[in-house]
Amino acid sequence: MIRSLFRFYAPVTILALALMTTSLQAQPAPTIDLLRQAYGTLAVANHNYDGHRVRAMQEIEIAARSLRMGLRGDAWVRQPQLVSDEQLRIARGMLAQAGAGLRGSARRHVDRAISQINIALRIQ
């Protein structure tokens, strides 16, 4: 029982801690903060999206580099598919908000990341 609760709540707890840590740091521009949060959310999502989750993360990394910020990392947490799918949807919403404030190369890569998430969510 405790083990199954841990499996369900551990990813959510990790995500909450990551978001809290981000908010405790010096506050970057809202767009950059949204990119970081979306990247972190995708990093803790499940790993069974035929590579589209990873491609979305790579597009966010490229967008971040064009804004002179760095992002890297990938968590290896197992979680229920419904939780993972919801994390992808949350990340997609953050990216849509961030994309509204971007132009040029960064905007194109954010749009590509959203496209990869859309493909990933169609995979069952």
- Tens of pLDDT along 33-65? 899 999 999 988 887 799 999 999 999 999 999
Nearest to 80 by CA among 34, 44, 36: 44
pLDDT value, residue 25: 42
Q: Residue 12 is inside which H or E element, if any?
A: helix 2-24
- Judge whether residue 12 has pLDDT over 90: no
| Model pTM above 0.75 | no
| Residue 5 pLDDT level (bands cut at 50, 70, 90) | very low
Measured CA to CA, the distance from residue 91 to residue 15 in angstroms comes to 12
pLDDT in tens, 55-108: 999 999 999 999 888 777 666 666 788 999 999 999 999 999 999 989 999 999
**Count of alpha carbons within 13 angstroms of residue 19, beta-carbon side:** 16
Which residues, 6 or more positions from 114, have their beta carbon under 8 angstroms from its beta carbon? 56, 92, 95, 96, 99
Measured CA to CA, the distance from residue 117 to residue 99 in angstroms comes to 14
The DSSP call for residue 16 is: H
pLDDT value, residue 17: 46
- Judge whether residue 24 has pLDDT over 50: no
